[in-house]
Structure 1
Amino acid sequence: MEFPQLGKHCNQHDCKRLDFLPMKCDACSRIFCNDHIQYETHSCKESYKKDKQVPVCPLCNKPIPLKKGQVADEEVGRHIDSDCQSDPAKERRKVYTNKCSMKGCKVKELIPVKCDKCHHNYCLRHRFETDHACKGFQDTGRSITDSGAAAIFRFQSSNGTSKSSTKPTTSKLANAVPQQRTGHSLSQGLGRELNMQRASRQQTTTENDLRAAQAGLSEEEILARAIQESLSQTTQPPTQNTGLSQEEEDRLLAEAIAASEAEARRQQQRTTTQESQNKKSCQVS
């Protein structure tokens, strides 16, 4: 006599036995009889989750601990990329030395990918200006050539070496703040002067070309040529016809900044000397 409402049927497709003491597989959560409860007997597809074997790194022979749900192959690959101390793994990590400058990004690329505007290295994901919120060279909002950036870096490194060799006192450090502000304002003024000179040279060149083109033409031809010139200026960026190249202007700007900072230091020394003389005269009186 059978009681179909009691017990459960085995989920093995070729068994379907009604078992009054059914068992559930702890990996796939299906019901099986006593003959098919083992992983191998019912070909359990989730049995890898219950595999408690510890994988070993093939390069350094170090056991790699796994957490619940982690895949062994992925953890071994992550160990080789970051923590493996074998010689092949170290050589592989040395190749990928171009770290992304984006805050929070730890990706390293095989080749350097530098931004033409700020001259920082980025990964392929953050290589565009909009992706890394580019603020220009040293947060100035302006782009600069490679030679100009190298000249400014050399100038800053030389200043850093000279400042580290001579340790300033507290009063000198306090007086250095207005000096830096003065040098920064002077550099901004020099940059504005260079931009004004470029604009004036471009305007003069355009006016001369227009006068030469208008010689011996009627009013209708002059008007048609002016309309054509305005359309070409709106569709294409104006070409720069300057006497100085971008590298020479950057070099002149760096020299002007150095001269302005030297003048500010001399002015600060004269002010300090005058204050000390005034203090001495007050003490004598």
Structure 2
Amino acid sequence: MSHIAFHPTPAALATLRVLLEAGAAPGPSEEAPLITAVMQPVAPAVLRLLLVYGADANQQRSDANPAIVVAARRGDHAAVDVLLQCGADVDARDAWGRTALMHAVERNEQSVIAALLLAGAAIDAVSADGMTALQLAQGWQRQNVQFMLGERHVGLDDVPITRTVVRAVPTAVRLAGDPQMLHLLASVIDIALDDLGDDDWNTRTGTHADTARTMAVRLRNEIIPAANASWHQLDATADELAAARSALVELAYGTTHIMPTGTSRLKLIDVLEELNRQLGR
């Protein structure tokens, strides 16, 4: 699957077909192939092949995130479309009761939103923490999305919501989100520093441990409410942002086994991939 993601050739797809015909299966600690494919991501042809050979379009990741939610979070409208064509539940919910539409709205993935709406996604669904897709659009002040959801009049609403993503503003090094998400980044930095030590941190990340330590303190103590909006934000240097990203890499893919309380490695992978996408990586 990884080879296909990085070297999408007909031969690679043919090899996958041979493996599937032979009954190849993931190991006990690995995700289901469909989840692995969505997380890579790979070409729609790979998803169709997996589904033809018996993969469940409603397959859940080990943290109870349905495949369609994973695809929506990553802005992969092609994967969302394939899953829907093969019977995925358009309103499937993750462990927090959020649907693919809610995640797509919060991340401003308009192509995904359009695909989900065309498939009949429920606009009025309510998550376990009381959020709807429209509230999430209002809370992030996404006027175009509000129109897509059927609103006729929109403005710069100051609507408090529970955010599951940290937004990097490209016009400056600015992180925007809820305090708990920004505090999570601080915890990630602290754990990575404690696990690696200053010397290994400097060697592995290419950033200075003192910069990372400063960033963790600032993420806890210096975030402020945004003007005329309900999120909180922190202006940081490029080096501080690089340190936060490096800490995410270490906990998501490195040797560190300790995770922040209530957080899984998969969640940190999601946070890292979302940040990378915003940074154009």
- Fold agreement, TM-score > 0.5: no
User: Larger Cα Rg: Structure 1 or Structure 2?
Assistant: 1
Tell me: higher relative CO, structure 1 or 2? Use CA pairs within 8 A at least 6 residues apart. Answer: 2
In the superposition, the TM-score normalised over structure 1's length comes to 0.23
